[in-house]
């Protein structure tokens, strides 16, 4: 069994995903943990010389096999979830958590890193290896290595409980979404819905053996219903179902209330054990931001600049709703529908019209062209085995035809797949002697799948999401860091990790890029200039409300984690109401249960870190302005192309290629020549002035 286990494939080969079965997980993970324990004990021997080659390299040789296998298991559990796979994953989770905690608490290994740091030849190491050792010492301290006795045992218990509760939170969200559906038998209730959404709903019902149309809570169904369904009661039903996911209003077994309470209590206790006043204080030890107070000041500054625009946005929406639909009171389930009608009225286009131009094959072709022009690499289809028919594999090829990495894409929503969009890595770049182990990266989205005889169609927001995730992927794929401990996902500060992703979004608004991305599903024509101008004019449509929404989420996150102890679910909801009273212009019903579906905070690693999106957006907007400054104006008065290869190569060299080998602030300054400024973000958001 062990010999034939695809999770135990050599690091130099790709995983045969088609061959991985649930029964492979436990034997592989158990064997790799056993090997890794031996390697840790061997690396902790005090008689070893205090050198990188004697301590760090042998440990990496063994443990990277474990983390590769566990990454594969976690990825499959997220994208092809079955009861058997979930059970196998959950059987392994306590083992992995216990091992990870054990390593972090290993005083012998900690002593070895202290020896490395104190060694006479420490300064002879490369700056990257010096940084890895310094970060390891920090992480040991934050991992509880200096705790003793009962506190040490309690820390291990906390780690195990948090891992289990986060996994259960994620499962409850997935199951709540997958178990809910609404079967409609009257065609009139679908009035206004795009044809592809109706067809997908009809096919879903047919697959269940029913006539009619089956609506679900996955985004490719939910969002079009909210934007286009003329039936107000249908929108209300869908809204209530979505905003009460995994709460007390559904299946009691899937209610995340108790998990939220436990996770907050466990996190606060962890912080106290380590000597911090709150979990937020603890987490910011590894961020660019210095303190919760600095983060709160930053968020409130953004809120102050955005609120006048948001107030105007909402007033215009209410006036339009009253005049066009006779809605004296704008309900939350009306807002997406009325907003889309206002957009159509003001800018004379609809998202449905735009979507016809963005076919998935053409969007990928255009994305790959952008990557090639900016960074000098090609993405070519690969025959690598994949886990589902939706998934595709690509090789990243250099100008001299070297394989730099492998990218897997899984773009469509389906049953048993977690919602959202994300990137993760299976394997990091690593130099082993004269050879280079190339990175392997997953890019996952949840777009609407193709209907029979047609390519899949993407909204412009989908295109932006794809570019966003491609920025994350490129951060790993284009790394020139030879040591995995300084790879992007291992050591870039969390509040800077969104810089490459948000940076890439900007190109989705450039006419030359949009033309390359677009080919009408029926005519093959690129998006016309007139329609592009309307799209661009609407870029900052309701940008005030959108920014306030992100600030609201971020303040809520910081609020619940900047506490000396846990909170009851009533206190959590009360704090959310306080945040809304401070910054929001939109107020949902009292039964709205947004926190119960906030996987970023409770299952995705963003606890006390959601502000990172806005923080990194300052960095990304400022970085992109370097491309704008280069473009200038051509002789005919038209803007030049921002796809400047020279600036792109500098971004590659100073941001992408260096990963976490130096602090993010240094990388930004190396690229931009100065510290970041907020001006570009406000300008890109249509908020160049502090007030209206």
pLDDT, mean of residues 86-100:
98
Say how many Å lie between the first and final Cα of the chain, rounded.
Answer: 68
pLDDT given at position 636: 55
Specify the pairing of strand 422-427 against strand 392-397: unpaired
Mean of pLDDT over the chain: 96
pLDDT, mean of residues 455-479:
98
d(CA 192, CA 95): 51
pLDDT given at position 691: 40
**pLDDT over 70 (residue 381):** yes
CB-based contact 198:191 (threshold 8 Å): no
pLDDT, mean of residues 204-233:
97
d(CA 153, CA 148): 8
d(CA 575, CA 260): 14
**pLDDT over 70 (residue 692):** no
pLDDT tens per residue across span 180-196: 999 999 999 999 999 99
pLDDT given at position 407: 98
Percentage with pLDDT > 90 across the chain: 97
pLDDT given at position 617: 96
Q: In the structure, what pLDDT confidence band is assigned to residue 690 with cuts at 50, 70 and 90?
A: very low
Residue numbers annotated as active site: 469
**pLDDT over 70 (residue 262):** yes
- For 6-104+106-142, the fitting CATH number among 3.40.50.970, 1.20.1050.40, 1.10.1060.10, 3.30.70.600 is 1.20.1050.40
pLDDT, mean of residues 331-349:
97
pLDDT, mean of residues 552-581:
98
pLDDT given at position 637: 55
pTM above 0.85, yes or no: yes
pLDDT tens per residue across span 130-185: 999 999 999 999 999 999 999 999 999 999 999 999 999 999 999 999 999 999 99
Residue ranges of E strands in 244-387: 378-381
Q: Where in the chain is the domain with CATH 1.20.1050.40?
A: 6-104+106-142
pLDDT tens per residue across span 497-511: 999 999 999 999 999
**pLDDT over 70 (residue 56):** yes
Specify the pairing of strand 213-215 against strand 435-437: unpaired
Q: In the structure, what pLDDT confidence band is assigned to residue 120 with cuts at 50, 70 and 90?
A: very high
Q: In the structure, what pLDDT confidence band is assigned to residue 3 with cuts at 50, 70 and 90?
A: confident
Annotate 247-269 with b (16+ C-beta within 10 A) or e (fewer): bbebeeebbbbebbbbbbbbbbb
pLDDT given at position 630: 83
pLDDT given at position 370: 98
pLDDT given at position 2: 74
Residue ranges of E strands in 439-580: 440-447
**pLDDT over 80 (residue 253):** yes
Percentage with pLDDT > 70 across the chain: 98
pLDDT, mean of residues 412-424:
97
CB-based contact 560:261 (threshold 8 Å): no
**pLDDT over 60 (residue 264):** yes
pLDDT given at position 688: 74
CA 627 to the chain's CA centroid: 25
**pLDDT over 90 (residue 689):** no
pLDDT given at position 640: 64
């Amino acid at each position: 069994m062990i010999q034939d286990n695809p999770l135990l494939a050599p690091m130099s080969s790709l995983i045969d995903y088609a061959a991985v079965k649930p029964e492979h997980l436990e034997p592989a993970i158990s064997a790799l943990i056993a090997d890794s324990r031996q390697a840790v004990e061997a690396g902790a021997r005090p008689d070893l010389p205090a050198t990188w080659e004697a301590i760090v390299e042998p440990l990496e040789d063994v443990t990277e096999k474990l983390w590769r296998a566990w990454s594969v298991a976690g990825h499959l559990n997220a994208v092809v979830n079955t009861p058997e796979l979930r059970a196998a994953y959950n059987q392994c989770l306590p083992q992995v958590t216990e091992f990870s905690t054990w390593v972090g608490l290993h005083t012998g290994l900690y002593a070895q890193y202290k020896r490395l740091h104190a060694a006479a030849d420490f300064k002879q190491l490369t700056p990257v290896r010096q940084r890895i050792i310094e970060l390891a010492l920090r992480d040991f301290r934050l991992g509880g290595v200096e705790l003793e006795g009962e506190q040490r045992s309690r820390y291990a218990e906390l780690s195990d409980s948090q891992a289990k509760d986060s996994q259960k939170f994620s499962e409850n969200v997935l199951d709540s979404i997958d178990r809910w559906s609404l079967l409609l038998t009257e065609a009139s209730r679908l009035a206004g819905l795009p044809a592809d959404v109706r067809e997908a709903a009809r096919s879903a019902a047919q697959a269940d053996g029913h006539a009619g149309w089956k609506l679900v809570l996955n985004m490719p169904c939910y969002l079009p219903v909210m934007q286009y369904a003329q039936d107000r009661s249908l929108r209300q039903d869908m809204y209530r179902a979505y905003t009460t996911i995994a709460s007390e209003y559904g299946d009691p077994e899937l209610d995340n209330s108790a998990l939220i309470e436990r996770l907050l209590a466990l996190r606060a206790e962890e912080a106290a054990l380590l000597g911090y006043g709150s979990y937020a204080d603890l987490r910011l030890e590894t961020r660019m931001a210095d303190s919760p107070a600095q983060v709160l000041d930053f968020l409130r500054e953004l809120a102050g600049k955005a609120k006048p625009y948001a107030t105007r946005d909402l007033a215009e929406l209410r006036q339009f709703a009253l005049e066009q639909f006779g809605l004296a009171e704008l309900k939350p389930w009306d807002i997406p529908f009325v907003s889309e009608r206002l957009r159509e009225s003001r800018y004379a286009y609809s998202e449905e019209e735009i979507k016809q131009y963005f076919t998935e094959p053409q969007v990928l072709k255009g994305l790959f062209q952008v990557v090639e022009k900016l960074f000098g690499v090609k993405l070519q289809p690969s025959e690598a085995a994949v886990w589902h028919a939706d998934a595709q594999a690509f090789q990243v090829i250099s100008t001299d035809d070297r394989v730099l990495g492998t990218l897997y894409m899984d773009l469509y929503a389906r049953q048993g797949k977690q919602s959202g969009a994300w990137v993760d890595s299976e394997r990091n770049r690593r130099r082993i002697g004269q050879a280079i182990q190339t990175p392997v990266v997953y890019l996952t989205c949840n777009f609407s799948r193709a209907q029979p005889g047609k390519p899949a169609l993407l909204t412009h927001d989908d295109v932006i999401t794809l570019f966003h995730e491609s920025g994350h992927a490129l951060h790993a794929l284009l790394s020139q860091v030879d040591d995995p401990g300084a790879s992007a996902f291992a050591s870039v500060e969390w509040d800077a990790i969104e810089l490459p992703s948000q940076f890439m979004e900007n190109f989705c608004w450039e006419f030359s890029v949009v033309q390359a991305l677009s080919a009408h599903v029926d005519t093959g024509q690129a998006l016309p200039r007139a329609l592009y101008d309307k799209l661009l004019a609407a870029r900052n449509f309701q940008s005030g409300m959108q920014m306030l929404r992100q600030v609201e989420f971020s303040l809520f996150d910081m609020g619940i984690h900047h506490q000396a102890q846990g909170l009851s679910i009533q206190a959590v909801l009360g704090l959310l109401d306080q945040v809304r009273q401070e910054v929001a212009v939109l107020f949902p019903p009292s039964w709205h249960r947004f926190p119960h579906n906030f996987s970023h905070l409770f299952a995705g690693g963003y606890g006390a870190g959601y502000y990172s999106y806005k923080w990194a957006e300052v960095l990304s907007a400022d970085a992109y302005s370097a491309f704008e400054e280069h473009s200038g104006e051509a002789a005919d008065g038209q803007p030049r192309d921002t796809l400047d290869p020279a600036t792109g190569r500098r971004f590659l060299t100073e941001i992408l290629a260096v990963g976490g080998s130096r602090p993010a602030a240094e990388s930004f300054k190396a690229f931009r020549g100065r510290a970041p400024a907020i001006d570009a973000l406000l300008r890109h958001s249509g908020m160049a002035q502090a007030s209206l």
